Amino acid sequence: MSRKPKKTFQTPKGTFDILPQEQKYWNKVRDVVRDIALHYGFGRIDTPIFENSDLYVTSVGEATDIIEKQMYVFKTKGKDSVALRPEGTASVVRAYIENGMANLPQPVKLYYIGPMFRYEKPQSGRFRQFHQIGFEIFGDMDPVYDAQIINVFVKTCYSLKLKNLNVEINSIGCKECRPSYRSQLLKYYRSRIKGACTNCKKRIKTNPLRLLDCKEEKCQPIKVNAPTLIDSLCKECHDHFKSVLEFLDELEIPYSLNPHLVRGLDYYTKTVFEVFLEDEHSEGGSEKAHRRSKLALGGGGRFDKLIKIVGGKDTPAVGAAIGMERVINLMKKQGVKVANPFKSQIFLVQVGDLGKKKSLKLFDDLSSAGLHVMESFGRNSLSSQLRIADKFGAKMSLIIGQKEAIDGDIILRDMETGAQETVPIEKIVKVIKNHLKK
């Protein structure tokens, strides 16, 4: 009777494991974000990874790719419709309203770090489970906060030693100036829509502004000569945008105007921006190659009407999100050095039953003294443990056997030279620290 082969399991499509040797990059990013958030007055917020699905439909917009194609939506046993969060802003807005943060001194500054979920075709730098860092400022419409959000974003990247960053920025106006521009855009596209992609033929009916966001090759020649919203801004939006650019000039943040930048979500108003690698915008070559080389690390903008749409009071807000996977991949690509804070130079070797018993307590004492120690308690052979210590790159080994356990001593072995010395156990911490200083 033939036996069925054992079933093997792999990570779901579009996901990946973050292995121990990779954690140093993730920890570095988290540490930098935490420090910058502290200096700029942002408090951390953690929201659930799933929410009522209507929250995202209401905030992000029904005619967006996230809602139409990418959300993970499911029914609970109680028949509630919930969705894994596809982005962070909607959840933070819900938390701001629900927890009465409008009653706090404004502006309220919040940041988050966590996984997001979108069902889309996995490709380089794009996953179905991915991680974002977000900064949000609620309760003030002053353009200085648009600039501060961009500054915090850029500071984070520079603190991670990333080079050649450039901010692309635009204003998409407000409810006063956008209707007039929408009419101009529709008039321009009506005679050209036959040559556009399938998505754009749908967008012209549901969300015309997203025509400018299309990445399809066949739509690029059409988009080039489309009217720009920046030329149709009302006085308030014009003055707001002018002030943002002046603040960026004062901060000496490099930026370029991109009149076709609209971002993909419905809730944005006025300022929108994305951050790219400047050296990805190479001169020369085909337009196709130029476009494909662009890699956005993240972006954001104003969402002054979102809180009211979700059920709160009319509250101005601005925010941005950074993709952690893309940042980490870029750190590796640019050769950013990240030290492993837990790399140990000490290996504890035990031989015999009494040696093993004493070594367990010794390991705990060394850790309490702030020393990172490696071990292989399950092995009994001296030579096999020393081989493991050598493989881990330990500078010194501490050997405790039956005799050492009885005498209250420990053998300190230099793994490079093989030289050994016997040290009383009560002095071993001081001796080790002296060796490490040398």
Residue 223 within a domain: no
Q: State residue 287's pLDDT score.
A: 44
- Residue 158 CB-half CA count within 13 A: 13
Residue 209 within a domain: no
Q: Note the pLDDT tens digit of each residue in 190-224.
A: 888 888 898 888 888 888 888 887 888 888 888 88
**Domain count of the fold of the chain:** 2
Residue 429 within a domain: yes
pTM of the model: 0.85
Q: How far, in Å, are 91, 139, 173, 240, 270 from residue 235 at the CA level?
A: 32, 22, 10, 8, 12
Average model confidence (pLDDT) across the chain: 88
Residue 210 within a domain: no
β-sheet with 50-52: strand ranges across: 50-52, 81-84, 73-75
Looking up residue 362, the CATH number of its domain turns out to be 3.40.50.800
Range of the domain at 373: 346-437
Does residue 266 have a pLDDT over 80? no
The answer to whether residues 59 and 310 touch, using CB atoms and an 8 Å cutoff, is yes
**Beta partners for residue 269, in sequence order:** 302
Q: Which has more confidence, 126 or 350?
A: 350
Does residue 437 have a pLDDT over 90? no
Given the structure tokens 């960053």, which residue do they identify?
165
Residues 404-418 as b/e (b if ≥16 CB within 10 A, e otherwise) read bbeeebbbbbebeee
The answer to whether residues 37 and 184 touch, using CB atoms and an 8 Å cutoff, is no
Q: Note the pLDDT tens digit of each residue in 35-80.
A: 999 999 999 999 999 999 999 888 876 656 666 678 899 998 999 9
Give CA 234 to chain center in angstroms: 35
Quick one: which H or E segment has residue 93? helix 89-98
Domain stops at, among 307, 333, 359: 333
Residues 341-351 as b/e (b if ≥16 CB within 10 A, e otherwise) read eeebbbbbbbb
Looking up residue 285, the CATH number of its domain turns out to be 3.30.930.10
Does residue 270 have a pLDDT over 90? yes
Report which DSSP code applies to 126: B
Q: Note the pLDDT tens digit of each residue in 284-303.
A: 444 444 444 567 899 999 99
Residues 69, 112: one domain?
yes
Given the structure tokens 């080994």, which residue do they identify?
397
